[in-house]
Amino acid sequence: MKNIVFLMLVCFCTNLQANQCSVARPQLTIVYGNGMLNDREDAVEAQAMLSVLMSDQLAGYNVSYDLSYNYNENIAYQFLEVARQKALQDYSLIFLWLAGVEEAPSWFVEGMESIINSYDAFSYVFDGDLSQHIREYVRKIGQCRKVLLVAHSQGNFYGNEAWRAVYESSEVGVAFNQLKLMGMVSVATPASLVGYPLVYEGDKQKVTRYLTLYEDWVISVLGRVGINALPANVSNSGESDDWMNHSFVMSYLSGDPSGDVLKDQIRSVAYNLETLPFARDALDSSALASAGYDPAARILEVQFVGSESLYRYYGVPEWVYRDLISAESIGRYYNQFIRGQYLSRRLN
């Protein structure tokens, strides 16, 4: 039922003009999706710090930043609620129990088992928040922007469900899941995955990354109580002012080497993203009607004479595109230097 609602929202909220996208200087929107224990002020600060981290890091892109705010209750609060119902005075004992430093009483163990048994990612996703996120992502894609979500903590549950809904959409005869229109970098994720498979094998891997610290106490505790999060993959040197090592700004963005790892992951995803069909130059050729080029993603898009279908060629150097459109015989140049030389896909 939820997926049906999301798809209806996608259909309502965009009026795409896909054949008019300009990629001379591609548009990229980096969106921050906040996680647990973040109020709006914290989320706004994290978004601002993310823009500082990526300043001058994405050459060739016109970059903007946005916030997908999650008004979510999280599993940590449920731990506290179990303890509150037993009138526990010293909440620090919870941390010791969860970490296994001290043996937990039976009432706490039973309460945790109840929470875990009823655990479902949907339990931490508010439909109103998620619907708004989906509308904004699809609207940006319809405005010829590439979208890159940097999701923190439980914001990854929202990100994964938004991914599912966005990629189930289509426009101008092109299914969104045939293109890498939205990317995702998951930070301190309690989820067991990042995004979902797209039509072409390997596409998802090109536009998804994740980063979880071995020192992240929150993710470590969730693992101890049975939540199957992605395993930690980075360890920082030195100590963070955040004793839980879970804060997006203090532990991840400002950490060494996690800050540089995050920067590299965002760059890697950004340069693998693509737009909907984009503007092409008309060609004086009996073979190719038009051709366009995305310099950031190194994608050549062509349309053949007498065909409505579009074809994309990936990993094409810009000089090849320039030589193509200026060649004395465009058809001959295409056959000799492009056809069969690069990964290609038919869009419609």
- The pLDDT assigned to 6 comes to 42
- The pLDDT assigned to 13 comes to 38
Contact 71, 36 (CB under 8 A): no
- The pLDDT assigned to 311 comes to 96
In terms of Cβ atoms closer than 10 Å to its own Cβ (0-12, 13-18, 19+), residue 3 is exposed
- The pLDDT assigned to 111 comes to 73
CA angle 271, 272, 274 (to 5 degrees): 100
- The pLDDT assigned to 238 comes to 86
- The pLDDT assigned to 104 comes to 75
Q: DSSP string of 179-227?
A: S--EEEEEES--SS-SS---SSTTHHHHTEEEE-BTT-HHHHHHHHTT-
At the topology level, CATH places domain 2-13+25-72+125-270 in: Rossmann fold (3.40.50)
Tens digits of per-residue pLDDT, 185-243? 999 998 999 999 999 999 999 999 999 999 998 888 777 766 789 999 999 998 888 88
Residue identified by tokens 């914290």 is 42
Widest distance between CA atoms in the chain: 83
- The pLDDT assigned to 341 comes to 97
Taking 70 as the pLDDT cut, the residues of the chain under it are 1-20, 36-37, 72-92, 94-96, 98-101, 112-126, 225-226
Helices assigned H by DSSP within 90-206: 92-99, 106-117, 127-142, 155-167, 203-206
Please report, for residues 7, 142, 249, 270, the alpha-carbon distance to residue 12 in angstroms, rounded to integers and kept in the order given: 9, 12, 36, 27
Q: Which two tokens stand for residue 189?
A: 């994720």
pTM: 0.84
Please report, for residues 121, 139, 158, 174, the alpha-carbon distance to residue 161 in angstroms, rounded to integers and kept in the order given: 9, 17, 5, 21
Residues of each domain in the chain carrying CATH 3.40.50:
2-13+25-72+125-270
Tens digits of per-residue pLDDT, 242-253? 888 999 999 999
- The pLDDT assigned to 87 comes to 65
